[in-house]
Amino acid sequence: MAAAVVHRGPAGWWRWHRRVMVCSRTMASKTPVGFIGLGNMGNPMAKNLVKHGYPVIVYDVFPEACKEFQDLGAQVTESPADVAERADRIITMLPSSPHAKEVYTGGNGILKKVKKGSLLIDSSTIDPAVSKELAKAAEKTGAVFMDAPVSGGVGAARAGNLTFMVGGVEQEFNAAKELLTCMGSNVVYCGEVGTGQAAKICNNMLLAISMIGTAETMNLGIRLGLDPKLLAKILNMSSGRCWSSDTYNPVPGVMEGVPSANNYQGGFGTTLMAKGCFFPLSSSTLEDALKDLSSIEGIAAWFVPIKLPAFDYKASMITKREFFREI
């Protein structure tokens, strides 16, 4: 093995060294883990790492978000750079591409003080192109960046049942999976950096389509005189069954524990749906997608007033109540 490595030269030595580095990181399973971004999703995700016995080092732009973690024994830092100085495995959960860029490459960003060999896992929903950009920047410092966006929402985050879609160097997947399985029940390797984000955006697009279809179907049935509970029951034992019909039905009185049962409060709002389907994409990425999927315009129109190819992200969003009633 050693002789083979010598004959391969520097590139071969680096591949061998990286494999050893990955194995060492996996064996050091209870070393500190950094977590940046303690919002609605990041908070329960970080708590699940604590529950699994990991020493957690946290940072959030809002200091109050860190207080309960301090009570749980976590270290609280002053910046992403401070997290990188104390941990060689870091998970980020951030609102958008600009936030991710700032946390990784900003003046007090992770890459300012990251250690060589560090594993950086970003679970934000951002543009795949930005994930690739951050991966290249991390590589220059000797660190490894992987994108690992999630599906499942806050409930799944609390229960530790998230689905992670992971993109990055395949040899690093097991090291990432060790941490991600503390927060999720499904951890899927998708391919090179950016493919995790691509899978997440595709999933959100299909969800958007099914939510619109379910709302239209339920409204049609009600107008034709069908009882909504009966219609939902029929759909869920027939070929029209989908997550939006059997888990997240939009009609009040059909299901308990969903936004429609609570005057459309809480849950996955249309603003988040628009963000999950379209906001992560840069204008160039979006225009490329439009060439292959013209129906995206109709889907997007439900969530944000747009004029293609330019998106007006500042336009007001419709509410969930309007989403169902306006059909």
In three-state form (DSSP H/G/I as H, E/B as E, the rest C), the secondary structure along the chain is: CHHHHHHHHHHHHHHHHHHHHHHHHHHCCCCCEEEECCCCCHHHHHHHHHHCCCCEEEECCCHHHHHHHHHCCCEECCCHHHHHHHCCEEEECCCCHHHHHHHHHCCCCHHHHCCCCCEEEECCCCCHHHHHHHHHHHHHCCCEEEECCEECHHHHHHHCCEEEEEECCHHHHHHHHHHHCCCEEEEEEEECCCHHHHHHHHHHHHHHHHHHHHHHHHHHHHHCCCCHHHHHHHHCCCCCCCHHHHCCCCCCCCCCCCHHHHCCCCCCCHHHHHHHHCCCCCHHHHHHHHHHCCCHHHHHHHHCCCECCECCCCCCCCCHHHHHHCC
Distance CA 239, CA 224 (A): 20
Of 47, 177, 200, 275, which is the active-site residue? 200
Question: Measured between alpha carbons, how far apart are the two ends of the chain, in Å?
Answer: 66
Q: Is there a catalytic annotation at residue 51?
A: no
Distance CA 291, CA 180 (A): 35
DSSP 41: T
Q: Which residues pair with 122 in a beta bridge?
A: 92, 147
CB 282 within 8 A of CB 272: no
Active site residues: 200
